[in-house]
């Protein structure tokens, strides 16, 4: 018989209580009675001592895990990496290999058995030339990519296999601090491994370099190789995709009970968009903000609006520079990063209820995110940029302070190339005005400026280019 969580706790309590009662029973006996009881106790055969007649079945997670583990897979990747070989260069090349095979490992979760769809982390499969999936029954299959979203670190891959077992997906919004959870994955390539713990926090953010964040924090041991694996509740339902552990001294120092997982609701929405559109479509409020630093009474925490762009959802909602956004959809906004995180995680079309502080007065406004392009032909914004392709700086880099719009491609012989632009350049400034993202750049160039000067970052250097 499998005991649910409440029964498990009760069974533990009853066992403890029973031991205490027995202790009190012996302590209340005479010395002779205690001696006789002790002799009788030692005379009981080991088998009887280990399994008394009235014993209850020991609490175990084994039956639940028997249903879960067939849905959790091990992922192995190979990537061909070009290497600089000065010895080969000296001797004219050809004698020494100029590339090596980098191998890595991770985990994944089958969420659609009929279509062979597997959820994992983007960083598990990013850049891989080969991806193989090993099932719990020993079968191995080559996997094909379906789509990925680096900013939430979610990827979807597919295998052509029969008799797969999909893991049911729970509503992660119902998770509470203190709920028991179990992590299943492939740490250090050891094969399928199970660890358990509790939910330590929900809605966790502020971790540098991990993109848009709304993590479940758990003290279940999560180690390298667990990435992409399952975090399940005691019903054997998926509540999160394990993504990272934290130890300031590095993984070699051991697990310190700080593991993070992407909520299943978010992973499911990312998967839906990747399947439907081939990408994740995000929106923007159309404003610039910085973290409020006011120490005036009452102390106000939030995102201080520094600029509102023309035609933006923020302008339509009546937001002004100087406003401090303190809540969004009843979620506390502690700073500009929190607001940016919320923008990146909300689906398009969902109304955003914003609570503001303006001149010590609280206001509530409603806005709807406007689509933010993922990639843009710069020639559509200004003919002087024709031939350049623009993308936003990935969120995981923005969190480290890297801002602006990246030039991802420059066509040979194009006007952009003749103006001196190169792939990898990062546009920081347009006509002496800072550029936060593609939406901001589009708004700035919509005014058709006669003069176009770009402030660029190229590697570790910065400078200005006049577009002609």
What three-state secondary structure class fits 174? Answer: helix
Residue with tokens 């959802």, as numbered in its chain? 313
Measured in whole angstroms, the distance separating CA 406 from the mean position of its chain's CA atoms is 23
Question: How far is it, in rounded angstroms, from Cα 190 to Cα 163?
Answer: 24
- What is the average per-residue pLDDT within 155-184? 95
pLDDT at 447: 81
Clarify whether residues 197 and 209 are in a common domain: yes
Active-site option among 71, 104, 107, 123: 123
Which is more confidently placed, 158 or 301?
158
- What is the average per-residue pLDDT within 253-266? 80
Question: How far is it, in rounded angstroms, from Cα 308 to Cα 287?
Answer: 4
pLDDT at 140: 94
Q: Which of 24, 40, 59 is the last residue of a domain?
A: 59
pLDDT at 131: 93
Q: What is the pLDDT of residues 87-101, one digit of tens each?
A: 555 445 555 556 777
Q: Which of 350, 371, 392 is the last residue of a domain?
A: 371
What three-state secondary structure class fits 157? Answer: strand
Q: Is the pLDDT of residue 234 over 90?
A: yes
Provide the pLDDT confidence category of residue 31 given band limits of 50, 70 and 90. Answer: very low
- What is the average per-residue pLDDT within 339-357? 86
Clarify whether residues 168 and 266 are in a common domain: yes
Do the Cβ atoms of 292 and 301 come closer than 8 Å? yes
pLDDT at 86: 53
pLDDT at 331: 86
The token pair that represents 216 in the structure block: 């479940």
Q: Is the pLDDT of residue 297 over 90?
A: no
Clarify whether residues 138 and 202 are in a common domain: yes
What is the phi-psi region of residue 386: left when phi exceeds 0, alpha when psi lies from -120 to 50, beta otherwise? beta
Provide the pLDDT confidence category of residue 71 given band limits of 50, 70 and 90. Answer: very high
Provide the pLDDT confidence category of residue 326 given band limits of 50, 70 and 90. Answer: very high
Identify the CATH number of the domain in which residue 459 sits: 2.30.42.10
pTM: 0.70
Clarify whether residues 94 and 234 are in a common domain: yes
Which is more confidently placed, 303 or 20?
303
Q: What percent of the chain is predicted at pLDDT more than 70?
A: 78
Question: How far is it, in rounded angstroms, from Cα 93 to Cα 83?
Answer: 12
Element (H, E) at 276: helix 264-277
Q: Is the pLDDT of residue 378 over 50?
A: yes
Which is more confidently placed, 55 or 258?
258
Most confident of 179-183, 243-247, 301-305, 431-435: 179-183
> Into how many domains does the chain fold?
4
Clarify whether residues 287 and 300 are in a common domain: yes
Question: How far is it, in rounded angstroms, from Cα 126 to Cα 128?
Answer: 6
The whole-chain average pLDDT of the chain stands at 80
Provide the pLDDT confidence category of residue 247 given band limits of 50, 70 and 90. Answer: low
> Is 359 a known active-site residue?
no
Angle, vertex CA 69, rays to CA 175 and CA 151, nearest 5: 55
Q: Is the pLDDT of residue 352 over 60?
A: yes
Which is more confidently placed, 398 or 133?
133
Clarify whether residues 173 and 260 are in a common domain: yes
Q: Which of 335, 356, 371 is the last residue of a domain?
A: 371
- Domain containing 70 equals 61-280
Clarify whether residues 317 and 442 are in a common domain: no
Q: Is the pLDDT of residue 460 over 90?
A: no
Clarify whether residues 214 and 296 are in a common domain: no
Which is more confidently placed, 42 or 188?
188
Q: Is the pLDDT of residue 168 over 70?
A: yes
> Is 227 a known active-site residue?
yes
Question: How far is it, in rounded angstroms, from Cα 2 to Cα 4?
Answer: 7
Q: How would DSSP label each residue in 389-426?
A: EEEEPPHHHHTTT--SEEEEEE-TTSHHHHTT--TT-E
Identify the CATH number of the domain in which residue 167 sits: 2.40.10.120
Which is more confidently placed, 48 or 7?
48
What three-state secondary structure class fits 355? Answer: strand
Provide the pLDDT confidence category of residue 50 given band limits of 50, 70 and 90. Answer: low
Clarify whether residues 220 and 295 are in a common domain: no
Q: Is the pLDDT of residue 22 over 50?
A: no
CA distances from 293 to 250, 286, 288, 340 (A): 32, 22, 15, 17
pLDDT at 226: 86
pLDDT at 183: 94
> Is 330 a known active-site residue?
no
Do the Cβ atoms of 106 and 128 come closer than 8 Å? no
Active-site option among 149, 151, 153, 323: 153
Clarify whether residues 411 and 307 are in a common domain: no
Clarify whether residues 314 and 247 are in a common domain: no
- What is the average per-residue pLDDT within 337-366? 87
Clarify whether residues 35 and 95 are in a common domain: no
Active-site option among 227, 264, 312, 340: 227
User: What single DSSP character describes residue 173?
Assistant: G
């Amino acid at each position: 018989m499998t005991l649910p969580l409440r029964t498990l706790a009760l069974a533990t309590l009853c066992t403890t209580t029973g031991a205490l009662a027995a202790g009190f029973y012996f302590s209340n006996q005479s010395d002779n009675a205690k001696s006789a009881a002790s002799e009788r106790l030692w005379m009981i055969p080991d088998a009887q001592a280990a399994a008394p007649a009235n014993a209850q079945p020991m609490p175990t997670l084994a039956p639940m895990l028997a249903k879960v583990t067939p849905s959790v897979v091990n992922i192995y990747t190979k990537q061909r990496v070009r290497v600089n070989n000065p010895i080969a260069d000296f001797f004219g090349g050809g004698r020494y290999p100029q590339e090596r095979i980098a191998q890595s490992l991770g985990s994944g979760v089958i969420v659609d058995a009929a279509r062979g769809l597997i959820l994992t982390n983007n960083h598990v499969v990013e850049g891989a030339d080969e991806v193989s999936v090993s099932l719990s029954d020993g079968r191995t299959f080559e996997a094909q990519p379906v789509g990925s979203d680096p900013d939430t670190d979610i990827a979807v891959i597919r295998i052509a296999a029969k008799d797969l077992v999909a893991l049911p997906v729970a509503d992660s919004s119902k998770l509470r601090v203190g709920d028991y959870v179990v992590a299943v994955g492939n740490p250090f390539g050891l094969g399928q491994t199970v660890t358990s713990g509790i939910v330590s926090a929900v809605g966790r953010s502020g971790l540098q370099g991990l993109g848009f964040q709304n993590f479940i924090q758990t003290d279940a041991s999560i180690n390298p190789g667990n990435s992409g694996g399952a975090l399940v509740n005691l019903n054997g339902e998926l509540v999160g995709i394990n993504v990272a552990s934290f130890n300031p001294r590095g993984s070699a120092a051991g697990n310190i009970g700080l593991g993070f997982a992407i909520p299943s609701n978010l992973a499911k929405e990312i998967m839906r968009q990747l399947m439907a559109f081939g990408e994740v479509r995000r929106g923007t409020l159309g404003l610039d903000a910085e973290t409020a630093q006011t120490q005036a009474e009452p102390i106000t925490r939030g995102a201080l609006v520094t600029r509102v762009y023309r035609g933006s959802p923020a302008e339509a909602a009546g937001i002004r520079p100087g406003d401090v956004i303190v809540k969004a959809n009843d979620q506390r906004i502690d700073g500009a990063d929190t607001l940016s995180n919320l923008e990146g995680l909300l689906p398009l079309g969902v109304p955003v209820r914003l609570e503001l502080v303006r001149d010590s007065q609280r206001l509530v406004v409603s806005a709807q995110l406007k689509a933010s392009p993922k990639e843009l032909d710069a020639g559509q914004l200004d003919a002087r940029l024709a031939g350049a392709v623009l993308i936003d700086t990935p969120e995981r880099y923005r969190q480290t302070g890297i801002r602006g719009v990246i030039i991802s491609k420059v066509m040979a012989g194009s006007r952009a190339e003749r103006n001196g632009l190169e792939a990898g350049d990062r546009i920081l400034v347009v006509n002496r005005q800072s550029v936060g993202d593609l939406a901001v750049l589009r708004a700035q160039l919509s005014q058709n400026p006669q003069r176009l000067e770009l402030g660029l970052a190229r590697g570790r250097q910065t400078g200005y280019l006049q577009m002609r």
